[in-house]
Structure 1
Amino acid sequence: MSKSEFVVIGAGLAGAATAWQLAEQGHTVTVLERTTPANEEGSSHGSARIFRYAYPSPLYTSLVVRAKRGWDALEAASGRQLITPTGAVDFGEVRGPSRIARVLEGAGIEHELLSRDEARARFPQIAFDTGVLYHPGAGVLDAITTVETMLELAEATGNAVVRTNWEVASIERRGGGFDVRSTDGTIVTGSKVIVAAGGWLPHLLADLALPSAFLASFPTLEVRQEQAFHVPWREVDVVDGSYPSWPSFIHKRLEFETYGLPGGRDAGFRGQKLAQYNGGPKLPSALDQDGQIRPEMRERIIRYVEDFLPGAIPEPYAETTCLFTNTPNEDFVIDEADGVIVVSACSGHGGKFAPLLGELAADLATGAGTVPDEFRVAQFSAQAASAEFDGAKV
């Protein structure tokens, strides 16, 4: 049996960020990961995730601004570049570029509104179907390197220990603290527990020693096995082993929403990564994933490339799955109940907030701060009762 002040369950982006924040503050932390950090069965694997400021919600844009300060500190502390600038474009009849532009204007974020023809002239590799919002401050973040970096920095303080291949079975309250028990009977104890289990949360929720009232208010979680594809660029203008002149994009139509970004190391720096947002099959939890690509989704993406990406070849050369764990209104859940802090779910758009998620979770755990009311469990039951979910957060 080992003991620390805090036990963090899950070594993805949120869990690693929380451990880094707590360890830097001088607290002892044990991180428990069921396999390995940022493994391919979770939501934080791979080298390519979108970093962007463009949200229709002023709350989320303001939080990206805060998160960027954390990214800058992380890059300075590690000497590693974790976000590569690419710029981003938002378009489509449902996306509402003008609405997002007003949010960015209010936050002081550099941006441009382009007509469809102006956007096509600047980015001929994309066949825009509406006007476009462009903001140059967006980029691509390296998820797995970020996880590794945060855990390395946490361990370097001497305050953090990372245990891999450690699968949690249950949490039990004991003597003012908690016993976290693994499936093989090993026990780790802590004064408080931070659960950043992502797609495993639906499976674990009943075994986390959470109060019944808290569980009754907890939002229904939907786990999706997203389907992502890499298609090659027709012209590869890679500079210094980095990205070509492709921006990331979000294209939101009545038919479905597509997102894309330069694939980076995942794609050998030669292709665009793209997927239908929340287009993968629904799962009860991460335990039910099969890692399989659905042929109908491959065909849908091929048709999308043919219709909207003239700068890419509609022949996927790499494919992968990734878990999204969604709340009904796509808000995050970051809340605390009697010593257990839950930092899930992130509804498929949490990667860009990683350093801030760790800061918010650490503040809840230590009592140093709080989180936006929108992320509290109580707001989900209140909104469900009044049917206020608008589905337009991201």
Structure 2
Amino acid sequence: MTSAGGGAARRLPRWSEIRPLLRGRPFIADAVERRLSKAHTIADLRAVARRRVPRSVFDYVDGAAEDEIGIGRARDAFRAVEFHPRVLRDVGTVDPSVGVLGRRSALPLVLAPTGFTRMMHHEGEIAVARAAADAGVPYVLSTMGTTSIEDLVRAVPAARTWFQLYLWRDRDASARLVERAIAANVETLILTVDTPVGGARMRDVRNGLTIPPSLSPRTLADMSLHPSWWFNLLTTRPLEFASMASWNGTAEELARRMFDPGVTMKDLAWLRETWPGKLVVKGVQCVEDAVAVVERGADAVVVSNHGGRQLDRAPVPLELLPHVVAAVGGRAEVMVDTGICSGADLVAARALGASAGMVGRAYLYGLMAGGERGVRRALGILHQEATRTLRLLGVPRMEDVGGEHASLRAWNGR
């Protein structure tokens, strides 16, 4: 033993003391589980997803409109939330469940409608619905989905299935979709109203993304980097829209052909008369429109700028949320989407008045990273983060989270 300058005596460590410190992670044979085991946040899942699929597919999910200012502001708003925790509260047991449109949801969470889902992973919407059903949260099938209403309900009868509707130029086709949703006993219909035309999603334009992906010299080269994705695409049923005739072209061209810029409040009134279940209007971006759609029979509104994918620099949903909640005055539920990246964000949305938050990218990162298991991982992460946030706030029940638990402050980017 030696002494260094009168400090602690030094000695050579024994092997018996070093050996317990040499603990590596156990090897996981299953490649998907191995990937997912390293994902501890939604950002981690995003990083895995980026490596698993072609760039054009990842960018379709990850990107937004024009300069992507709107999505950045939406995320910054959640970063600007300041929580106000209380201490010495019994949070040995916490309950993150809430009521959403008359039924219990395990989290204040709805899995948002997303188009072309089997492009992200060949398991597609059915994988998402299975994960949502097991997690106890609603899942919304999109009009632009790659699985039909009937097939989804048949495959996952336990799912809390909602259906999202665009009103097309062909109103008869839209009416037939509504009839099919009624026949399939879909619980809730969501009308998306912020798409008179498609947004300018510049990543898709630059990538030359087509639906389905086309074989070109560029995509053929990409096969060497993502062979499993291409193998699954080419050896499973063709990628096509389940609610419409086949399409070959870009997403922007499809939107221009299908979406109807002439939709008005009269169409909402027609839909309210036609649809017997819960009716939600998604894409509300001002207080006056929120009041108007509720007066015409909407059971809920979603304050949303479409994930920043339509009008860039549109209002920030989280900042608008409290004003809409105040104006609606308990006559309808108010949900919010765009910018939710964590379970803490769900708690923040709830504190600012939302009955639930909608997420799309978060679970799609999981789907791209590992199919159904990846979606389960995403939902598990959100659940873990939400329950931890409740405990640290000193609130044992999500339903008790309110305005006293969080506030918005200026975000300086740090």
The TM-score normalised by the length of structure 1 is: 0.28
Between Structure 1 and Structure 2, the one with more strand by share is 1
Between Structure 1 and Structure 2, the one with more helix by share is 2
The TM-score normalised by the length of structure 2 is: 0.27
Q: Which has the higher contact order (CA 8 A, sep 6+)?
A: 2
